[in-house]
Structure 1
Amino acid sequence: MLASFLITFREGLEAFLIVGIIISYLGKLQATKYNKYIYLGVTLGVIVSLIIAYIFQVVLLGIDDANLKHYLMIGILLFATIVLSYMVVWMANQSKNIKGEIEENLNNLVTTGNILGMVFLAFLAVLREGFETVLFFSSLSLSQNITMQDGAIGGGLGLVLSVILVYLIMKGAKNIPLREFFKWTGLLILIIAGGLFGSAVSMMQASELLPTFVPMVYDISSILDDRGLFGTFLRALFGYNSSPTLLHLLSWSAYMVGAIYLWRKTYSAK
């Protein structure tokens, strides 16, 4: 539930921040008559995101071929790892410029009276985050067996909190350390992505797409079993494995070293 909360909280914050910037700037331009088109774009973005989520579930649950379903699950996990990693780096690089770019685009749209462009601007902001959320939820459910109920509760709480935080920001709560928020939640997202990548490696080994080499490097299940209460929590959030294979451990370690190095380099350069 914590993983789903973190993902929807961050994704919701990004989407609602962009929408908040758009609505706020329309007010500065004294063009609030266009607000309804922004809300239309948001609504369409949510609807299309839900349709994508439904298609994901139908496709995954409707596949009878066990091998095909297994390969599709591997592909989703690997794709989610790439998107998660890219999202963190992209947000770090764009966080300072995104407000200015949105206002410049919106100013051009208002000047030309491009209503369709305004709808699309809000639609794209919500759809991008919605698609990423669907992808992450699917990956977590595939790799960690998170129940629909836990995912819905965590996701719902994350969305509600993101709306509240954006409201406070738009109302002038300037003391909210937004950059620090994105920095440290970005690190947690990368750790989650590392867990998804490790799960993909394990699935590829199970299907003999990758060699096993050493089937078990160590076994600390007597200390912290990944099937126990706390171990299950760590497995769901970080991909913890109490008895990993050599390739699993090396792959996960290589990803985490590279991801953390890139994370530190990206934020230290600002």
Structure 2
Amino acid sequence: MLAPFLIMLREGLEAALIVGIIAGYLRQTGRRAWLPAIWIGIFLAAALALFAGAALQLASIGFPQKTQELFEAVIGVLAVIVLMSMVFWMKKAARSLKASLQASIDAALERPGGGTATWALIGMVFFATAREGLESVFFLLAIFQQSRDALAPVGALAGIAVAALVGWGIYAGALKLNLARFFRWTGIFIIFVAAGLLAGSVKAFHEAGLWNGLQEVVWDASGWLPESSPLGTVLGGVLGYRDTPTLGELIVYLAFLAGALFVFLRPAAPAALREAR
């Protein structure tokens, strides 16, 4: 439950920040008449995410066992890709996000013709929020397939609800949040989750018959900390814990974790040095 909650809290907060920046800028510049276009873009993005999730889930129902394992492995890899792109995109774009969105709003609303400007604003909100929605779809599919936690859907819904409240509080000026610190710590958490998903995908590739190397069991903790236990379920959802990990799963987990944390925590190069390069 904890992993889906924190992931959806972050995803939801990213979407809420984007929408809040757009809505706040429209309000500050006397363009309140354009606010309904924001809701249209949000509803279209939500519909796309729900449709994509339902289509992928329905497509996998009729698969034979090995094909289902392959589907689970591919979804897990895709989830890792979108999660990591989300983490590093926000790290890079956080400082310039507000200015970039405001410039895009001005460009959209300065187009000749009210209808064209409306669709331009709807499209901007749609593409900004659809990204978060599709990322959420891949993550939730992967975590639901690999996790034994029956409360995972509840955690995901709770994360979205809290993100909406936090986003509204930031928009209304009633809540101050250190976003840089929030995204940094949730980014570290997501890297651990992604490492677990990737290791789970290695296991699924083996069960699909596509990977048969490094299958030696490193340790067997099923007797004292099984994955099905309450603590094992939490550790599995948060850290990708396995009670009987194979050598291949452990190597992939540790290699990914070390590399991703190194790149994420590495200080950014000064602007002057980047320009010189």
Q: Report the TM-score, using the length of structure 1 for normalisation.
A: 0.92
Partner of 2:194: 193
Contact 1:4–1:151 (CA<8 Å) still a contact in 2? Answer: yes
RMSD, aligned α-carbons: 1.9
Distance 2:57 2:214 in 1: 34
Structure 1 counterpart of 2:255, one-letter code: A
Partner of 1:79: 78
Deviation by residue 1:107-126 (Cα, 9 ceiling, x = unmatched)? 11122241111011111122
Partner of 1:28: 28
Distance 2:129 2:93 in 1: 17
Partner of 1:120: 123
Structure 2 unaligned spans of 5+: 272-277
**Offset at 1:268?**
8.4
Distance 1:157 1:50 in 2: 17
Structure 1 counterpart of 2:165, one-letter code: I
Deviation by residue 1:134-175 (Cα, 9 ceiling, x = unmatched)? 11110001111444xx23321221112111211222233574
Structure 2 counterpart of 1:165, one-letter code: V
Structure 2 counterpart of 1:220, one-letter code: A
Partner of 2:275: none
Distance 2:270 2:232 in 1: 36
Contact 2:5–2:159 (CA<8 Å) still a contact in 1? Answer: yes
Aligned residues: 267
Partner of 1:216: 217
Structure 1 pair 268–143 and aligned structure 2 pair: CA distance change class (3 A): farther
Distance 1:152 1:217 in 2: 31
Distance 1:167 1:48 in 2: 23
Partner of 2:246: 245
Partner of 1:108: 107
Percent identity for Structure 1 against Structure 2: 29
Q: Report the TM-score, using the length of structure 2 for normalisation.
A: 0.90
Contact 2:149–2:233 (CA<8 Å) still a contact in 1? Answer: no
Distance 1:232 1:41 in 2: 37
Distance 2:237 2:257 in 1: 17
Structure 1 pair 189–230 and aligned structure 2 pair: CA distance change class (3 A): same
**Offset at 1:261?**
0.5
Distance 2:158 2:269 in 1: 31
Contact 1:205–1:211 (CA<8 Å) still a contact in 2? Answer: yes
Partner of 1:135: 138
